[in-house]
Structure formats: C-alpha cells, structure tokens
Amino acid sequence: MSIAEAAGMLAAPASYPPRIEHMQPQRRHLDSEAFERQREEAQAPWLAVFVADWCQPCETLLSRLSSASQESIRALPVAVVDIDREPALAERYGVKGTPTLILFVDGEPRLTRVGALSEQQLLQIGEEGARH
C-alpha cells in the first residue's frame, strides 16, 4: 500500500485520544492548519510521522506502527505529514530525511528519530510518551 493510499484511509479519531486495548494506532494525515491545532490542543503525547509517497522506508515504518505489539506505542495517537504536500512543516521541524518521527509532549517536540525504525526502537518512543 502506498503512503497516499494509507493517508486516504486515515480518518480523525472519534474521540481524542482513544484508549482501547489491542487497537491499531489512530492515524490521520495533517495539513499545516490541522497540525498546528493538534500541537496546541493535544492533552497527551502524540507522534508526528513525516513521510513521502515515493519513500519505501516510510511504507515499512507505517506498517510497523500498525503491527506494533506493545501497548505503549499503540496508545500514542499518530499523525502523518506528507513532506511533499507540507514542505513548510518539514522545514520548520528540521526534517531532512524520511521517515522522520517526532514525539510531541505539551505541544513541543520532545524526541526525534529518522528512518524505518525497528519495533524495539518504536517501543522506546512509546515508553518515552508514556512517561509524560
């Protein structure tokens, strides 16, 4: 599945953030306006994933996020930002490569990782989010 197809299937969660055991991460594509609203209004940590349609590691990462087995990463709301549609956001947050993951806590970037991270690396991000 391409990033564009995945982004097309993403919908805003009915309630923010949903906390249901053994669920898929909540993901949605954000434009600049929605991103800023998410950043300002989020009451819990959330993960921004900067991707591109042409990026194979991005597809790998999104697949790993969808199949992550640990609750700490599954509980994080995930927002997908396409760098080709939102280059100003990518520039603002220093995105130089894709995929780039940024954990936001209290509206500020807390942790940044680049690449198709392993499930263990994703778990570390989830644990960091769970601490806040």
* Catalytic residue positions, numbered: 55, 58
Q: Which residues, listed in sequence order, are joined to residue 111 by a DSSP beta bridge? A: 103
Instruction: List all residues 6 or more positions away from 131 whose beta carbon is below 8 Å from its beta carbon.
Output: none
Distance (Å, rounded) from C-alpha 108 to C-alpha 87? 19
Closest CA to 49 of 41, 40, 58, 57: 58
Q: What angle do CA 61, 63, 67 make, to 5 degrees?
A: 115
Residue indicated by tokens 């807390």: 110
